[in-house]
Structure 1
């Protein structure tokens, strides 16, 4: 009889323990369920109502969310992170309390230990997503504050663009580092964006543009009234090309009344004068830093159309074919000078950047989020004010949905040795002039355009 009683009670105790854990697990997604089961009606009802209200509010906000809300949310990262931390603590405590109100002491000792361990795991698992979100939000805020640290001067306006129809951002790729002296801007582009439609024109200037002219009356114009010309540092080695303007200005503070770090502002003014358009901000990315990001994402699949020789002594070789490249290999593919001119290098750099954008796996980004954010803080420089991100995010959404065209000032369009400055300005003005609506455009007679839809140069259209 005694053995039969034990056989009957063991399954009952197992079932009671399983039911207890089931109610605790239900409370993780439906707070208050365990409290209602235990007879805590007021507490259970309050938790359930609060939870449903919060979920409803989130759904309504998400349904009505737009890029403008996403932009404004960048100003609330600290507050959202605090809410996420509070939610993590609240969910952890909720699971434990849900376990306790179900009176686990009625179970035998082994049942209490087993259910307690499971409840603890559920508590940690329920709190983990909120804690992880809070961590990502904190890292994001720190990264944005580090990269976009320039304050906005003057009172805030309802129109962030001050009545202008276009903004122009200078996009640069540089190569500074511990083993290199100064900054040389090997990739020089201007993104001219229509703030109403998001229609964008990418204006590309070659790094090897000679006899660069500077704005009249500027310190660089007084130093080089007939264009940027310097003696060769060694036979065949030119340092008076467009890519050296930043570094030359940094190296000669005496031209600017002793002010240091004038490279960025000087290059902005130079490009603005060259194109005939104002430059609002610049963004400089360390091209070599992309190797670390590529490695963090697990490499990059690229099609090498012909053998690429690289290295200081041409000791490296990337054979032709499609393969997964490491960060260093992808950057050598983009930057090798052996048997390549600057225009071929510019094409390969576009291939690498576009492949990186296309192949970035969101899961991999989340797994290495903190590492990638730390890398970003070290490879990006910009003078875009932090508060302007609120307005640039919705503008970026417009750009994503609008037409993006490209105008590259390369031979035969423009000679890099003897540039036609007036033609550069004329082509720029024509490229960024307002375009007719799609209906009017179809009715208009076909005419040659200075710009074309942007392509990565690898046979794949850019989305």
Structure 2
């Protein structure tokens, strides 16, 4: 017969080592759970096993943050301007940055307190090391993400403070904002930032539909807007230099502009208003030497290079050529695509500059802007100076977002339409008004002659000096480029 077990043998207690192992695993799971609770609901570990008052304060704070975040996202879906206002308000950005740093610090402290509540000294050495590692990773990841967010907010606030320091807000004129874009060329032996490129961006205040009106730097004998300081000095028109020389003249006669931060820009605006009949709201000066940093910051720009574009020149040797084709150019090559004049002329260069503007507008997506934000901010602060007040930045960002889905019209006041040596100013103002009316849908499109359909390429642009360049006068800049 098989041996019969003695009564009570099934109830024999487990060895103490097994009990200790199970207890150790329970303590380890409890410690890990407290840390995970802190990750999901900061303060919940303290409510369960620690200082309940601290825990409830943390939970309420977390609840308020989540409600504000969800509320902002929902509101942003229906009103983009609210999000843009927050992103451009230096006051809001300051407190958002402070809040992010406070959250990072508080959350990290809650993680360390959760580790303490897990009684690490009672854990086995392997469990203790694992708990320390997990807690450290969670604390550093969460706090690091929040601190990085605070850093980005700080970069944005610094950008707003340093770039947009204008203090005068102006409303739309006849339903449009007119912003003068100046391309400045700085270098050794040259005064300041010379506005060698002058374009008025006339933007519909409701739809964002934009007309780019470019003026040649070699225009002569032009009037200044009546009542201005420059009109008093040159009542019969500017006879001292070309249009791009107005800035230099004003810089040599700053006593005529008391209290002005930028006499050269102010004088140039007086000329642009006198020539076009448009009232300028704001201006922005782009340093072309810093432009390449912005292009590099967004990862380059894709352009249709119609013929070899020289790299170099402008008084120096040509060191190479940008080859024809649809290609993605880095900042260096994009800059030369926009400014090259060798084997070309000013009017072709103006057309290519418009193509660069169009490409930048269409290709810099919100995703690209967010992922490269710090590089873009650093490049922009070094590249752009403007009198747009910080309070108006959100308005123009929203208009730019609307403009991405619409055609951009162009008008360049160049030959053969305009003789830059003897401009017909009534004709110029009529052409400007017609271009704006067509963009607003209140005027018929011009009839196209065979010269407008020319496929001849000169200086990197469709057309020739005698027939005009497609990108210089187009109702859809994207197709002209």
Q: The TM-score by the shorter chain falls in which range?
A: 0.7 to 0.9
- Counterparts of 2:261 and 2:115, CA distance in 1: 64
C-alpha displacement of 1:175: 1.4
TM-score normalised according to structure 1 size: 0.80
- Counterparts of 2:56 and 2:319, CA distance in 1: 73
The residue number in structure 1 matching 2:83 is 70
Residues 292 and 331 in structure 2, CA contact (< 8 A), matched pair in contact too: yes
1:108-157 per-position Cα deviation (integer Å, ceiling 9, x unaligned): 2343233123202211111122111111111111111111113248xxxx
C-alpha displacement of 1:216: 4.2
The residue number in structure 1 matching 2:285 is 284
- Counterparts of 2:432 and 2:361, CA distance in 1: 27
The residue number in structure 2 matching 1:134 is 150
Spell out the pairing of 1:103-182 with structure 2 (5 A cutoff): 103-152=119-168, 161=171, 165-177=175-187, 180-182=190-192
Q: Give the secondary-structure state (helix, strand or coil) at the position aligned to 1:282.
A: strand
Residues 84 and 131 in structure 1, CA contact (< 8 A), matched pair in contact too: yes
Between 38-47 and 270-279, the greater mean CA deviation after superposition: 38-47
1:287-331 per-position Cα deviation (integer Å, ceiling 9, x unaligned): 110112233444444443322223212233323345554422221
Residues 199 and 215 in structure 2, CA contact (< 8 A), matched pair in contact too: yes
Residue 200 of structure 2 is aligned to residue 184 of structure 1: no
The residue number in structure 2 matching 1:308 is 309
Q: Give the secondary-structure state (helix, strand or coil) at the position aligned to 2:409.
A: strand
The residue number in structure 2 matching 1:432 is 436
The residue number in structure 2 matching 1:235 is none
The residue number in structure 2 matching 1:332 is 336
The residue number in structure 2 matching 1:412 is 416
Residues 193 and 287 in structure 2, CA contact (< 8 A), matched pair in contact too: no
Between 76-85 and 168-177, the greater mean CA deviation after superposition: 168-177
- Counterparts of 1:392 and 1:361, CA distance in 2: 16
- Counterparts of 2:93 and 2:447, CA distance in 1: 44
Give structure 1 stretches of 5+ with no counterpart.
154-159, 231-239
C-alpha displacement of 1:252: 3.1
The residue number in structure 2 matching 1:273 is 274
Residues 334 and 348 in structure 1, CA contact (< 8 A), matched pair in contact too: yes
Distance 1:277 1:348, change over 3 A: closer
- Counterparts of 1:105 and 1:216, CA distance in 2: 84
Between 164-173 and 26-35, the greater mean CA deviation after superposition: 26-35
Q: CA RMSD in A?
A: 3.6
- Counterparts of 1:41 and 1:256, CA distance in 2: 66
Higher Cα Rg: structure 1 or 2?
2
The residue number in structure 1 matching 2:65 is 54
Alignment length (residue pairs): 435
Residue 113 of structure 2 is aligned to residue 97 of structure 1: yes
1:355-412 per-position Cα deviation (integer Å, ceiling 9, x unaligned): 4445547677556544442332222111122333354444445545665432222333
Q: 1:350 aligns with which of 349, 354, 358?
A: 354
Residues 351 and 457 in structure 1, CA contact (< 8 A), matched pair in contact too: no
The residue number in structure 1 matching 2:388 is 384
C-alpha displacement of 1:334: 1.9
Distance 1:129 1:357, change over 3 A: farther
Give structure 2 stretches of 5+ with no counterpart.
1-14, 449-472
Distance 1:200 1:336, change over 3 A: closer
TM-score normalised according to structure 2 size: 0.78
The residue number in structure 2 matching 1:88 is 104
- Counterparts of 2:480 and 2:439, CA distance in 1: 28
Residues 350 and 456 in structure 1, CA contact (< 8 A), matched pair in contact too: no
